[in-house]
Copies of this chain bind each other. A is one copy, B any other.
Amino acid sequence: MADVKLHGFWFSPFVLRVVWTLKVKGIPYEYIEEDPANKTPQLLEYNPVHKKVPVFVHDGKPVCESIIIVEYIDEIWSQNPLVPADPYERAIARFWVRYIDDMISAVLLPLCRSNDIAEREEIIKEIWARFRVIEERCSGDQKKFLGGDTFNIVDIAFGSFARFILALEDMFEVKILEAERFPHLHTWFNNFMDVPAIRDNHPDQEKLVACIMFMRDKLR
């Protein structure tokens, strides 16, 4: 059997992408919970450039960066494919993953950090504008999932942030992914959370909110 390890933080949306991928594919793995303040020597050796999680280790060989790990796992373990087989469909999926990584990720940290209500409202407006693009362009055809009728890498990429945003909604007592504002995304999120590998593997909401509260105080 392959030797499969994952170094992560339990609260990281990027690590969650890899956990979901492994669960979707039914791959057993050893999970190493890293301490942000005191990372293991293995992590630093495996990812000397960024020193970040997730790091996926397959038979002793490290792979870094969440989406690169997801594509790697998908190429090695072919069951329940996450990257479309058709090259054009694959390019489209990669386009949306890139959009999500560049445009959604960039507004989440400022929102976590924000201590000012007016500033937070501005950031939320920006998040809405970026969600609007996904609502209209990506999920606009009302398929069951973002990538089409079957669950794929685009769902994993966006779902990890959507899950994190639920915690921010609780934390700031605001609604961001509202059903009225984003009917397609709202339906998608319910479909997404119904996938067993997703439903059964995500951080406890209360614990996640407490963790983000703690981290944002450290970030300031």
Contact = CB atoms under 8 A, between A and B. Distances in A.
Interface of A: 48-49, 58, 61, 63-65, 68-69, 71-72, 75-76, 87-88, 90-91, 94-95, 98-99, 133, 137
Number of copies: 2
25 contacts: A48-B137, A49-B95, A49-B133, A49-B137, A58-B88, A61-B88, A63-B88, A63-B91, A63-B95, A64-B95, A65-B94, A65-B95, A65-B98, A68-B94, A68-B95, A68-B98, A69-B91, A71-B91, A71-B94, A72-B88, A72-B90, A72-B91, A75-B87, A75-B90, A76-B87
Contacts of A48: 137
Main DSSP-derived SS at the A contact region: helix
Contacts of A91: 63, 68-69, 71-72
A168 to B, nearest CB: 24
Contacts of A68: 91, 94-95, 98
Nearest to A94: B68
A14 to B, nearest CB: 13
A53 B216 CA distance: 37
A61 B89 CA distance: 11
A75 B61 CA distance: 25
A71 to B, nearest CB: 7
The 3 closest A-B pairs by CB, nearest first: A75-B87, A72-B91, A63-B91
Contacts of A71: 91, 94
A128 to B, nearest CB: 16
Nearest to A96: B49
Contacts of A90: 72, 75
Contacts of A61: 88
Contacts of A76: 87
A47 to B, nearest CB: 9
A79 to B, nearest CB: 15
